[in-house]
Amino acid sequence: MSVPYYVTTPIYYVNAEPHIGHTYTTVVLDTVARYHRLAGEDTFFLTGTDEHGDKIAEIAAERGVSPQEIADEYSAAFSSTWKELGFSFDRFIRTTDPDHKSVVQAILQKVYDAGEIYFQEYEGLYCVGCERFLTDRDLEDGLCRDHERAPEKRNESNYFLRITAHFDWLADHIQQHPDFIRPERYKNEALSMLREESGLGDLCISRPKERLEWGIELPFDSNYVCYVWFDALINYLTGIGYPDGPKFEHYWGSAEHFVAKDILKPHAIFWPIMLKTMGLPVYRHLNAHGYWTVNGRKISKSLGNMVSPIDMKERYGFDAFRYFLLREMVFGLDSDFSEAALIRRINADLANNLGNLVSRTLNMTARFADGAVPKAGEPGDLEREIQAAAPETAARVDEFVRRYEFHRALEAIFEFLDRVNRYLETRAPWKAAKDPANADRVATTLYTSCESLRVIALLLASFVPDTAQEILARLGIADALKTARLPDDAGRWGVLEPGTATTKGAALFPRIEVPDEAD
């Protein structure tokens, strides 16, 4: 049986259309899920939408509709967008799904019966944007750090989860498992939260129905609904059949959560402690990435800079946008998006480099080998160098993808691609073909270039899936990904059969002319 691999996006809150931030996280998950499937690993990829809480009720009231209508509208926007973009998720979960409601209520009752939940009156500063009470750590000049909004003073009686009682356990677990939270800066941030007594208290897990009815009702008190974060985090269990489904037992031990750094606290602090109070083992890793800004500014509805992935697909093709996101951001750090930077990447990497190699190789195969992969002759030193570089590159890509260093994986692939382009320039089959005595040399050059394209396409298949599939189809091996196993098949040489019919095709990535370049 193959090794299980369970990966989750945060479930996206249904108060806005999908934008670059949501898209990046989902592109990352789609990339790793595709890669692990190609590696022969039993993979489950979960995404979905978070649909309860104050913000949804607030939007519904403003628009004069029910919260369910708001949830349905925005959840459908995410689901249809992710399908249009070709993401390979196994389940799209909604927190309004009946099975999720049942799981949340069963867990609430279990934790309550275990004595981990208590009732008390509480006064504090509440941020509707965060959907929680804030502490001094969360404020800057009296405003919520994340929403730049003054919190409301509230006095309520609510139910609380005893998380502070488990802080020492969690700190020990994080320190004993140094890669539990990655990259390291976020592990250190989580430990800092646990050390600062004023930073965190017990977690309020309810909201009184007298002010909020939109939520999952507490099974032990019908006057309250569940706090949206307690509800939302449990989706990672519901999505694979908790408590007794076969998928749950199979996948949970391999869970890899991916989140943006703004939701580190719920995932690094609340969630492990929730799991402990349920009697469940914690997830394997929490992987946090940085923010995308747009032209140096934070993404905001009011600024109108949210960058629609559908708009990017229509203008540039979604593979080009995927490539930019994965190549430009170092996982864990912030990065900036601009269309000018995207165009530069498309022209330099995809059009001038990858697209040019595909066009030259297949055009010359059509011209000098009647469109069929030629039989190679005896390899020379240059051919042996290319052959040796293929398994080296495949091993490096495998290492980088498994460490979530996507920019380095793409760098490695394009270093190999550059090597093949230089090889072609050196061998210059367009010149050698002028002398019939060079026929064997030309055939060897073209075979080496075609086989290199096969290697490149396999390695790119997780990053730019449509482009990789198109390259393989032009090489006459459209079904190659159905049986391929990475990294081994990308490191093997001589797989492409001589005589295989190839197709030239149009430019993979036409160069984009911009005013400064056109002048």
Catalytic positions are: 19, 22, 127, 130, 144, 147, 298, 301
What the block records as the tokens of 92 is 């799209």
Are 233 and 275 in contact by the 8 Å Cβ rule? The answer is no
CB under 8 Å to 429, separation ≥6 — which residues? 364, 368, 441, 442, 445, 446
CA distance 6 to 249: 11
**Crossing angle of helices 465-474 and 356-368, rounded to 10°:** 10
CA 3 to chain centre: 20
Q: How is residue 353 annotated by DSSP?
A: I
CA distance 236 to 170: 19
Are 359 and 421 in contact by the 8 Å Cβ rule? The answer is no
* Apex 403 CA angle, 400 and 405, nearest 5: 55
Distances (CA, A) of 120 to 162, 209, 357: 12, 16, 68
Q: How is residue 514 annotated by DSSP?
A: -
Long-range contacts of 399-408 (CB under 8 A, 24+ apart): 401/31, 401/32, 401/35, 401/462, 404/28, 404/32, 404/182, 404/287, 404/331, 405/330, 405/331, 406/28, 406/31, 406/326, 406/327, 406/329, 406/331, 406/463, 407/326, 407/327, 407/328, 407/329, 407/330, 407/331
String of b and e for 198-218 (b: at least 16 CB within 10 Å)? eebebbbbbbebeebebbbbb
Q: What radius of gyration do the chain's Cα atoms show? A: 26
Are 324 and 23 in contact by the 8 Å Cβ rule? The answer is no
Strands 203-204 and 152-161, how do they pair? Answer: antiparallel
* 345 three-class SS: helix
Q: What residue type is 305 in one-letter code? A: N
| Nearest to 145, CA basis, from 314, 67, 262 | 262
